[in-house]
Structure 1
Amino acid sequence: MQQYESVIILTPLLSDDAAKEAIAKFKSILTEGGAEIVAEDNWGLRKLAYPIEKKSTGYYHLTEFKAPGELIKKLEVEYKRDERVMRFLTIALDKHALAFNEKKRSGAFNKKTETKTEEASN
């Protein structure tokens, strides 16, 4: 199974509960299709780089998962059918992206916070 990463931008008109329900729907599509969720990251409400559908903000959610290739087409069809999704992007991860994501999850890039903590303790 190939490892993928999918980012969706949901409309900002949703309540927090409605956004969580939409994310749960897509997560269930993945798990029912035989995918294994590796990591999830909810970025919350963020400003968009450019207006989409006359909206300047959106709820961002990232999901990293292992899945068979035919499941991606089904997932993206569901993204297109759901009116709550403004944009989405699903990519297959190569070995370099996998290594980067693993380092990011382990906290290897948090050196700024570590040095500030060490300076504060001195």
Structure 2
Amino acid sequence: MNNYELMAIFTPVLSDDDFKAIQKKYTDFVEANGGTITYTNPWGLKSLAYPIQKKTTALYWVLEYSAPSDFNEKFKIQFLRDDQVLRHMITVLDKYAVEYNAKKRSGVKTDTEKVEA
């Protein structure tokens, strides 16, 4: 099982209920294919750096999960088929990134934050 982080950008015309439903759809897909959800963070409506499909805002969502290495191809196909997804990016997390994200969520200051403070 490898650790991954997904950043997905959805169309801004989704209602709150639709946005929650699409998040549930993809988290259920991960779990149905043998993965586990580590963390989910809906960022909500944000401005885009550049227009995508003539849209200047979008709904952002970050998902951390663990899954078998062959799972990501199935996951990408689901995103490419969905018209509500503007963009998506899956990043592989190494053990240091997983540790950093866990510390950040728990509120523990990292070495770089101690130096800046």
Q: Same fold (TM over 0.5)?
A: yes
Is 2:10 the partner of 1:10? Answer: yes
Shift of 1:108: 2.1
What residue number does 2:61 align with?
61
Q: Which amino acid aligns with 1:30?
A: V
1:1-122 to structure 2, matched below 5 A, reads 1-109=1-109
Shift of 1:95: 2.0
Secondary structure of 1:23's match? helix
TM-score (norm 2): 0.90
TM-score (norm 1): 0.86
- Pairwise CA RMSD: 1.6
Q: Structure 1: any 5+ residue segments left out of the alignment?
A: 116-122
Q: Structure 2: any 5+ residue segments left out of the alignment?
A: none
Number of corresponding residues? 112
Secondary structure of 2:46's match? strand
> Partners of 2:58 and 2:40 in 1: how far apart?
17
> Partners of 2:12 and 2:37 in 1: how far apart?
25
What residue number does 1:120 align with?
none
> Partners of 1:91 and 1:107 in 2: how far apart?
23
Q: Please identify, of 85-94 and 96-105, the stretch whose mean Cα deviation from structure 2 is larger.
A: 96-105
> Partners of 1:29 and 1:99 in 2: how far apart?
25
Give the fraction of aligned pairs with identical amino acids, expressed as a percent.
40
Q: Which amino acid aligns with 1:2?
A: N
Larger-Rg structure: 1
